[in-house]
Amino acid sequence: MFRVLFIFTLLAALAGSSGPSAAQDLFRSIFGPSRWQRDWPQRWQRMPPPPTQALPPAQQGKGAPKEAVKVETVPPPYDGEMSRLAEILGALHYLRPLCGADDGARWRGEMQDLIEAEQPPPDRRDRMIASFNRSYVAYESSYRSCTPAASLAIRRYLDEGVRLSREIATKYGN
């Protein structure tokens, strides 16, 4: 009931007023100033300038130092081949010991040597390691013992790994 009476009174006051400022005055007289109007002086005060740092002697008189610009690194053209090589090394790291080879940590060591020689940026390094791990886990979930298919996969991966490493070295090597 109070709402209806209030809205009706407000509409009657607006209809008899001379314009929008009269309606605003009526609204302010009923409810007081808005929160925005109360807080406006504090919100819009001029912010103090940031503290200045002394410039090195070489830059004095040249203005403020420029901000560092983040440079997007473009992956090398052989990035796909390196990712595939990491997958092959991951598969061999699981399959070779499964089939009785005596080179347990050799393929993981080869992967570490490859990363150290390449010295990729952190994001690319993480992608290479993820390729190695993804391949290892895929074969770990598929093979529990050495089968003829696992032996065939080892031979094919060894051949493909040799071919890929030669291609990368021939096309992109120094």
Do the domain assignments include residue 25? no
Do the domain assignments include residue 7? no
pLDDT at 18 (0 to 100): 53
pLDDT at 154 (0 to 100): 93
Do the domain assignments include residue 61? no
Residue 172 CB contacts under 8 Å (≥ 6 apart), including other chains: 76, 77, 78
Do the domain assignments include residue 46? no
pLDDT at 81 (0 to 100): 92
pLDDT at 2 (0 to 100): 47
Do the domain assignments include residue 149? yes
pLDDT at 94 (0 to 100): 92
Compute how many other C-beta atoms are within 10 angstroms of the C-beta atom of residue 146.
16
pLDDT at 70 (0 to 100): 58
Residues of the chain with pLDDT under 50: 1-2, 4-5, 10, 14, 43-44
Compute how many other C-beta atoms are within 10 angstroms of the C-beta atom of residue 79.
14
What is the number of structural domains in the chain?
1
Do the domain assignments include residue 5? no
Tell whether pTM > 0.75: no
Do the domain assignments include residue 106? yes
Do the domain assignments include residue 121? yes
Q: Which domain holds residue 114?
A: 79-172
